Amino acid sequence: MNVLITGANRGIGLGFVKHYLAQECDVWATYRSDIGGLADIDDDRLRTLQWDITVEKDDSFLQAMSLPGQLDLLINNAGIYGPKKAHGQAFDTITTETMQEVFEVDCVGALKVSQLLASRVIAARGVIANMSSKMGSSEDNTSGGCYAYRAAKAALVIVSRSMAMDLADDNVRVITLHPGWVSTDMTNHSGLIDVATSVAGLTKVISNVDHYQPGAFVAFDGKVVPY
Ligand SMILES: NC(=O)c1ccc[n+]([C@@H]2O[C@H](COP(=O)([O-])OP(=O)(O)OC[C@H]3O[C@@H](n4cnc5c(N)ncnc54)[C@H](OP(=O)(O)O)[C@@H]3O)[C@@H](O)[C@H]2O)c1
């Protein structure tokens, strides 16, 4: 199985890499600028690619990176939180620039990567998994704030749903994921679960993609997230 994971140098992305290598998959792991934890993995099945998802790429980039013609699984994991809640994502401090910066990575980035890799996922009749967050769920939002992150992750949910509809005739399954509150740099390691627990659950959800509606928003514990 051929798997490509974005934002794979640390955190949950790196956890996905380790999981799929252990499953004897061929893994293409992308990183924005710092190869990070990928440098410590000694496995012939791992290929690394430098890819900032906010930078426009074309097919010549993929060919130069020797990407395979078939991708069974694309995980759009890369994401940013933006400024902390009390320092730039509050009602009175949020700016156009912050809204756009987070949207560009968390929503547009996943869409652009999917567009570029779509023919390869279609060739494999594969799966696209988009990493959103429960913070993008309207129903779950009882505390407010976090304007940029919430808006970008909510936008990704609906973009993911459209991708699920548009690619269904090509036999591509698209699912949206919530990883739980995970101990990573993004949460200052304050999460309730560790990366291994999150990845174990998320990869099970991905394996069971056909049990969910196209474009369903599903948490690491297998429960559908209302949005
Ligand atoms: N941790 C949680 O509790 C939690 C909860 C809900 C959703 N999520 C989502 O899960 C995903 C992974 O989160 P995490 O906790 O593992 O966060 P993390 O430790 O902060 O890792 C984020 C990853 O995204 C990469 N990235 C950021 N901007 C990028 C860009 N422009 N191009 C390519 N890669 C980029 C980072 O690369 P650099 O190292 O180069 O910055 C890093 O590899 C994110 O989408 C996040 O929003 C996490």
12 Cα to the center of ligand 1, angstroms: 7
DSSP structure string for 126-180? -EEEEE--GGG-TTT-SS---HHHHHHHHHHHHHHHHHHHHHGGGT-EEEEEE--
Predicted model pTM: 0.98
CB within 8 Å of 201: residues ≥ 6 apart: 179, 180, 219, 220, 221, 222
53 Cα to the center of ligand 1, angstroms: 12
The whole-angstrom separation of Cα 162 and Cα 176 is 11
Q: What is the CATH number of domain 2-219?
A: 3.40.50.720
3-state secondary structure of 84: coil
Kindly give the number of the ligand 1 atom that is closest to the alpha carbon of 10.
43
Residue 61 phi, psi (nearest 5)? -60, -45
* pLDDT tens, residue order, the chain (227 aa): 999 999 999 999 999 999 999 999 999 999 999 999 999 999 999 999 999 999 999 888 888 788 999 999 999 999 999 998 778 899 999 999 999 999 999 999 999 999 999 999 999 999 999 999 999 999 999 999 999 999 999 999 999 999 999 999 999 999 999 999 999 999 999 999 999 999 999 999 999 999 999 999 999 999 999 99
The whole-angstrom separation of Cα 55 and Cα 6 is 13
Question: Of 198, 218, 196, whose CA–CA distance to 208 is shortest?
Answer: 218
The whole-angstrom separation of Cα 136 and Cα 226 is 10
- Residue 64 is predicted with a pLDDT of 79
Q: Return the bridge partners of 26, or none.
A: 2
Task: Tell me if 218 sits within 8 A of 225, measured CB to CB.
Answer: yes
CA nearest ligand 1 atom 24, residue:
78
- Residue 27 is predicted with a pLDDT of 98
3-state secondary structure of 76: strand
The residues spanned by each domain of the chain are: 2-219
105 Cα to the center of ligand 1, angstroms: 10
1 Cα to the center of ligand 1, angstroms: 24
- Residue 155 is predicted with a pLDDT of 98
Task: Tell me if 6 sits within 8 A of 13, measured CB to CB.
Answer: yes
119 Cα to the center of ligand 1, angstroms: 25
The whole-angstrom separation of Cα 163 and Cα 227 is 17
Q: 82: phi > 0 → left, psi -120 to 50 → alpha, else beta; which?
A: left
Kindly give the number of the ligand 1 atom that is closest to the alpha carbon of 186.
20
- Residue 65 is predicted with a pLDDT of 80
Q: Determine how many CB atoms are found less than 10 A away from the CB of residue 207.
A: 12
CA nearest ligand 1 atom 8, residue:
133
Choose which residue among 6, 12, 112 to substitute to test ligand 1 binding: the one with the highest number of ligand atoms within 8 A of its C-beta: 12
Kindly give the number of the ligand 1 atom that is closest to the alpha carbon of 153.
47
The whole-angstrom separation of Cα 166 and Cα 219 is 23
The whole-angstrom separation of Cα 115 and Cα 98 is 25
Task: Tell me if 73 sits within 8 A of 48, measured CB to CB.
Answer: no
Pocket of ligand 1 (CB under 6 A): 6-7, 9-13, 32-34, 36, 52-54, 77-80, 105, 109, 131, 133, 178-179, 181-182, 184-187, 191
Strands 2-5 and 26-31: parallel
